[in-house]
Copies of this chain bind each other. A is one copy, B any other.
Amino acid sequence: MTVTIRDVAKRAGVSIATVSRVLNQSKPVSEELRNRILQAVEETGYLPNAVARSMIRKQTGLIGVIIPEISNPYFSGLVQGIETVAKQNQYYLMLAVSEKEPGRERELLRIYQARQMDGIILASARLDPELRQALEKLAVPYVVIGQRLTGLNAPCAVLDNRRAAFEAVSHLIRMGHREIGMVSGPMWDLASGKERYQGFRDALEEAGLPFRTEWVTEREGFHLHDGYEGMKVILGAPERPTAVFCACDRMAVGALRRLEERGIPVPEEMALVGFDDEELASIVKPRLTTVRHSPFDMGLKAAGLLMEILKGLPLTDGTCALVKHDLVIRESSSLSLSPRP
């Protein structure tokens, strides 16, 4: 049925070893035999079986990628970045989505290991103890995206969420705001939830501003709807803050919706800051002040780290690539409450 190296060898009147040598250019072969072999390959339409090859070489040339979801610009950006590096290095990608199934990540790690991935890249929001344990006994080199794994000295690519959130809120403070609320993401998401929340508190603290619980709300997700509901909660407080920091752009847009409904003008009566600088952020009216960072870059960096590991380059324990961020100031926060200092 399918043509194998034997068929090619027979047709060219040589041994299979010689065919292999030509195909892999692993050893010199005489001009004449080489031509006969190449011709036989041509005629038979022979395509080497990569599975058999992987088995011997003990490398598959495959990288396993695990992400929580794909229809989310953040994760698809990551994948794009990873794919770019993989392609440059002649690696191919396996992709699996882990969301909505507890324990799926652990299962996927096992499967990827059984499938002999050369490396694994894991982007998970919920790095619980079981998952850490699974990582510890993982026999495949891996890189984590999105958060540092304290304890494990796993290489990772991360954003300084806390610092970025701090800067975003500090910007509001510089604009004269002293009453600032936050629509936060869930705390189990260490990176986009907890760290951004901490950055918010850091900024208040540094400025000596009070933390008012009624102006802070933790949502269950990061969607438009969560922002909408979050703003509803905040507006339900007896007093109203003059600015609100949202854990991501979609939430900020949701919050904006609610403000519109209530007829509260942004930024005149309420300044708003988001996070991520999705395409959304500059399309909405008023355009959103937000923290720009590049998931694509993150993917690039993570895959870059993995490539170094696979090349056998010695990485310092716990090497982490820090991905840069920038505050992008737009209309939603551009009005000073008082003259700048």
Contacts and interface: CB of A to CB of B under 8 A. Distances in A.
Interface of A: 2, 45, 47-52, 54-55, 60, 62, 69-73, 76-77, 79-80, 83, 87, 92-97, 110-111, 113-116, 137, 139, 253, 279-280, 283-285, 296
Given A116-B49, A285-B285, A71 B60 contact: no
Given A93-B95, A95-B93, A96-B92, A70 B80 contact: yes
A48 B113 CA distance: 9
Contact of A114 (B47, B71, B95, B283): B47
A279 B283 CA distance: 12
Main secondary structure of the interface of A (DSSP, over half): mixed
B92 A94 contact: yes
A94 B97 contact: no
Contacts of A49: 55, 114, 116
Contacts of A55: 49, 51-52, 55
A35 to B, nearest CB: 22
A285 B62 CA distance: 45
B115 A92 contact: yes
Contacts of A279: 280
A44 to B, nearest CB: 12
B115 A51 contact: yes
B50 A115 contact: yes
B80 A47 contact: no
Nearest to A62: B94
Nearest to A64: B92
A47 B115 CA distance: 9
Given A51-B51, A80-B97, A93-B95, 5 more contacts: A45-B137, A50-B111, A50-B115, A93-B94, A94-B95
Nearest to A52: B55
